[in-house]
Chains A and B, each alone.
Chain A
Amino acid sequence: MNEESDGRWQRRLDRERRARKEAEGLLEQKSLELFSANEQLRRQAEDLEKLVEARTADLESALGRAEAAVRAKADFLATISHEIRTPLNGILGLSELLQMEMHDDGQRHHLGLLRQSGEILLALVNDLLDFSKIEAGHLEIERVRFDLAAELELVLHTHLPTAAGRGIDLSWQFHHLPQVVMGDSLRLGQILGNLLSNALKFTPAGSIRVEAHGMAWEGGRFRLRLTVADSGIGISPEVMGSLFEPFSQGESSITRRFGGTGLGLAIVRRLARAMEGDVSVSSTPGEGSVFTCDLVFGLPLAVERAAADRDVRAGGECDPPVPELEILLVEDNAINQTVALRFLRKLGRHADVASSGIEALERVAAKSYDLIFMDMQMPEMDGLEATRQIRAMGIGGGLQIIALTANASPADRERCFEAGMDGFLAKPLRLDDFREVLCRICAGRAVKD
């Protein structure tokens, strides 16, 4: 009986053991399957990662090529535009001189037309260059302190002669402007200049009224509203929508009647948007148009809000006052030398000439100058290096160095100031620009004296 019982227990124990071992075997098998599945997933993840890396590298190289192409295009445009502007400089300068010296009215008239054509060509080249720079993403908005009202007035004054010449009353009024703001004065000038050129172009008679309102002062930011209202031909509702698109003008006949690239307003819109604002227009055909442009500027920590409500009507000529100045012109190009010297002579000034940076250093060492006009691009030693060396000589007495440059981008201006220059004149050179520089320097001297 005991033996039978022991046998039964032994059998049941064996049965349980076999069941356990089978379960263990199944467990191992499942674990192995899980491990294999995990391995496979890991490999897939690695493959995916490699694929992503490869694709990223492909994209990066494609992006690099695209960027290089854009850079090449921008460089090409900049070079071409520079190449075009250099001879234009000569044509414009010499024709201005010839026109002044010519006594035959018929020939003077022809020269006037020649100069006008040159000016238009220059404006086209400048617009195209500017627009392609903006499109290529090269638009840099500066943030430097400047006198807002003074900058606006400068632009308004440059348009006064054109307005006066056509019998158009150009007036302006400023309300609640801070004395100084932080921003890009050059771009502001470009916006107002384009809006004024546009208004002048489409206003055969009557008036153009410019207003600048300080809209909001908060959080170190200042919102400016510029309105340019004209009594011109107005804009029909159909073309209003595409007015700020590139290469669009009111209608194709406008191009024939009024000229222009159709880029001016497109540039204004892109600049305004880059300055956290925008431009819009309202108009009644036959009665005139009102362009409204909002722009945002920074405010310096302490701003004086005073002294900026001005009401000005028309402006006067400025002729350089009398003080004698010792002037040195540093310019390697013979035509540019001639043009600049003639302009200075027109303004009653004489200047010494240096044809290279090295020669300029010799001149400065030998004689004390009040004013130097310095070409930027010269072989051997460029204008920046010459300026740095002159400044390093430690000459006192308020020597002013003015750059003559074809490139007036913010970066170029920054380099000029870093090298020790006091200002710059953009090529092509104009008589009025020289007059303004001389006025400013003489006025400064008069105050000091």
Chain B
Amino acid sequence: MKGIVFTEFLEMIEARHDGDFADDLIVTAGLPHDGAYTAVGTYPHTEMVALVVRYSAMSEIPVPEVLKGFGRHLFERFAVLYPVFFDQVRCPLDFLGTIEDVIHVEVRKLYPDAELPRFDAVRPEPGVLELTYRSERHLADLAEGLIEGCVKHFGVPHEIERGDAESDGSVRFRIRKIA
């Protein structure tokens, strides 16, 4: 998992609580190298799981909610860090449709060996996007948070419908513009 996910998560915790809280989280999560993360590094995703589970316990927020909240936060951070992907895009459906063909292409230029989730998009009818999330990590909650963050970012009301996990672990989201 890319280091930026870890650094952004810990910065979110520090902002929500404080430095000591984040330090306690790192120390008590039992991380192999004491939670020293850099955005350009790559780390085992089990460390992320350990952090989220530990944070859930400390804050008494259920894990799915932690992940969704982090997803919303992460999307806003992406908008700040990588404004180039937001030029010319005015609608969340258009943005979500470009993840595979534009954003992941750019990510792979910097990190050729990055293990990225797949977001396959189809537009079955005007105003509707179906996005299928596939990942070894099974972080559909994080994906849902990211989609929510996206809709919120563009400020156009959309309804997000989440399907059940398929046997292969993929999850389909249906995003529909509210007329």
Contact = CB atoms under 8 A, between A and B. Distances in A.
A23 interface: yes
B20 interface: yes
B30 interface: no
Contact of A23 (B19, B34, B35, B40): B40
Contacts of B47: none
A415 interface: no
A15 B36 contact: yes
B41 A23 contact: yes
A23 B39 CA distance: 8
Contacts of A20: 38
Contacts of B34: 11, 14-15, 18
Size band of the interface chain B makes with A:
10 to 19
B26 interface: yes
Contacts of A12: 19, 23
A22 interface: yes
A26 B26 contact: no
B23 A11 contact: yes
A16 interface: yes
A351 to B, nearest CB: 94
A15 B35 CA distance: 7
A247 B114 CA distance: 73
Q: Which of B19, B33, B34, B36 has most chain A Cβ within 10 Å?
A: B36
A14 B41 CA distance: 17
A8 B41 CA distance: 24
A19 B37 contact: yes
B36 A18 contact: yes
Contact of B38 (A8, A11, A14, A22): A22
Contacts of B33: 18
Nearest to B22: A12
A212 B20 CA distance: 108
A15 B41 contact: no
Tell me if B's interface is mostly helix, strand, loop or mixed.
Answer: loop
B26 A15 contact: yes
Interface residues of A, number: 14
B26 A22 contact: no
B23 A19 contact: no
A189 B72 CA distance: 93
A16 B26 CA distance: 13
Contacts of B36: 14-19, 22
A22 B41 CA distance: 8
Nearest to A27: B40
Q: Which of B20, B34, B39, B40 has most chain A Cβ within 10 Å?
A: B40
Nearest to A30: B40
Contacts of A8: 20, 23
Interface string B36-55: 11111100000000000000
A11 B36 CA distance: 10
Given A15-B26, A18-B33, A23 B38 contact: yes
Interface in A330-356: none
Q: Which of B20, B26, B38 has most chain A Cβ within 10 Å?
A: B38
A26 B38 contact: yes
Nearest to A11: B23
Interface string A104-116: 0000000000000
A20 B34 CA distance: 14
B81 to A, nearest CB: 16
Q: Which of A17, A19, A22, A26 has most chain B Cβ within 10 Å?
A: A19
A23 B3 CA distance: 10
A26 B40 contact: yes
Instruction: Enumerate the 5 nearest inter-chain pairs by beta-carbon distance, A residue then B residue, closest first.
Output: A18-B36, A23-B38, A19-B36, A19-B38, A15-B36
Interface of B: 19-20, 23, 26-27, 33-41
19 contacts: A8-B20, A8-B23, A11-B27, A11-B34, A14-B34, A15-B26, A15-B34, A15-B35, A15-B36, A19-B36, A19-B37, A20-B38, A22-B36, A23-B38, A23-B40, A23-B41, A26-B38, A26-B40, A27-B40
Given A15-B36, A27-B40, 10 more contacts: A11-B34, A12-B19, A14-B34, A14-B36, A15-B34, A18-B33, A20-B38, A22-B36, A23-B38, A26-B40
Interface of A: 8, 11-12, 14-20, 22-23, 26-27
